[in-house]
Amino acid sequence: MPIKIFDGHNDVVQHLREYRPDGIDFLERSTTGHLDLSRAQAGGMFGGFFALGVFAKYNAAEDLTVTETGYEVRMAAPLDPVSTYKEITLQLAALRSLEQRSLGKIRIATTVDEIEQARRDDAFAILLHMEGADAIDPELRELGELYRSGLRSLGIVWSRPNIFGRGVPFAYPRSPDTGPGLTPAGKDLVRECNRLGIMLDLAHLNERGFWDVAVLSTAPLVVTHTCVHALCPSARNLTDRQLDAIRASDGVVGMNFSVGDVRPDGQRNVDTPLSLVAQHIAYLVDRLGIDRVAIGSDFDGATIPAAIGDASGLPHLIDTLRQHGFDDAALEKIACQNWMRVLRLTLR
C-alpha cells in the first residue's frame, strides 16, 4: 500500500487564483510551483498545514550579503498589524472559496477526526496555519477571531521582528541565537494558544524565544519545517540542545526540503541529492525517536531538490528513506501518524 503523507508546511495560499488573479487553479494540474490537488494526489499527499502570512520580497542587490563562507539576508521590517490582518482575512476567504468550489474534494479541518475522515473519504484536508503572529494585537483579540475562523496552528514569528518576539535571519553559517526572547505580549500569546488549543509552531523563532516557549508552554514543542544545525549551520535550523527539549516535551519536528537548510555548504542548489534529506531525517530520528519526526516540505516557499521537483515527487523521498533502512511502519509515522499524534495532544 502506498505511503500517505500529511505535510507540515506549504505556502501555496500565496499563489491561489482566489487570492491573486494571476495565481493557479488549485483544482487543475499546474506547470508552475510545487503544489496543487492533482500533484498532491499523485504524490500520495492527502493534506497538510496551509500557511497564511505576509512575506517579504527581497532584492538580492540590496538585501543579500555574500561572504567567503556564506551569506546573510537583511532582516525584513516589521509589518503593520491592521493591513496584515486584512491580508490574512483575504487569504482565509480564498481558502473558503476554494473549499466551496471543490464540491467536497477539499475540506478545511479543525480536528484530527476531521482530517482522518477526509482521508477515508479520499478528500484533501487543509489545516489552517498562520506563519507569524503579525496580524494579532497585544490584547489578542484577533487570535480569538482567527480561532473561530478555523485557525489551529500559529507560528509566533516569521524571519522578522514583531510585538511578540524575533525571528532569525536567513543566514549561513549562523547560530539561531540571534537576539532577545519573547516580549511580555509574546508570553501572553503562548498562554492563550495553550488555553484555546492552537498549536504553537517555533519555526523561524530565534533560540532565546524558543527557550521562553519551552519554559511557558504546557503543550508539546513543535517546529513544522526545519533541519539539523549540526548538519547544516543555517540560522533556521535547530541545535542538538533544542532537539533534546523537543524530545523531552514529546513534540515533533517537520523536515524541511529547503536546499539551503539541507546542504552542508548552505547553497541553494536544486541538484541536492535526496540522500542529504534522508541524512537529516535519520539524525532527527536518532535524536528524537521515531515518534517525533515528520515532513514539513515548505512547498511553494523554498527551493527544493530537483529529485522531488513538486508534490508529485514525494514517492522519490519515500523510496530514498526505504533505501536508508526505514520500514513501512516507520515511514507511516514520519509521513502522517506523528502529525496526528501531536495534534491530538494539542488541539481542543
Residue 213 sits at φ, ψ, to 5 deg, of -65, -40
Can you tell me the distance from the alpha carbon of 154 to that of 193, in angstroms, rounded to the nearest whole number? 8
In this predicted structure, what is the pLDDT of residue 61? 85
| Domain span including residue 296 | 5-346
pLDDT in tens, 50-94: 999 999 989 988 999 999 999 999 999 999 999 999 999 999 999
Q: What is the DSSP code (8-state) at residue 80? A: P
In this predicted structure, what is the pLDDT of residue 94? 98
| Helices assigned H by DSSP within 35-153 | 37-42, 60-63, 81-101, 112-120, 141-148
Can you tell me the distance from the alpha carbon of 187 to that of 340, in angstroms, rounded to the nearest whole number? 26
- Spell out a b/e string for 222-235, using b for 16 or more CB atoms within 10 Å of the CB, else e: bbbbbbbbebbbbb
In this predicted structure, what is the pLDDT of residue 92? 98
Residue 132 sits at φ, ψ, to 5 deg, of 100, 130
Structural domain count of the chain: 1
> Is pTM beyond 0.95 here?
yes
In this predicted structure, what is the pLDDT of residue 126? 99
In this predicted structure, what is the pLDDT of residue 298? 98
Can you tell me the distance from the alpha carbon of 241 to that of 23, in angstroms, rounded to the nearest whole number? 41
* CATH value at residue 160: 3.20.20.140
Q: Cβ distance 227 to 255 under 8 Å?
A: yes
In this predicted structure, what is the pLDDT of residue 288? 98
In this predicted structure, what is the pLDDT of residue 319? 98
In this predicted structure, what is the pLDDT of residue 2? 87
Least Cα distance to 122 among 219, 44, 31, 239 occurs for: 44
Can you tell me the distance from the alpha carbon of 254 to that of 251, in angstroms, rounded to the nearest whole number? 10
Cell of 223: 517546529
In this predicted structure, what is the pLDDT of residue 312? 98
Give the residue ranges of the chain where pLDDT is below 50: none
In this predicted structure, what is the pLDDT of residue 52? 98
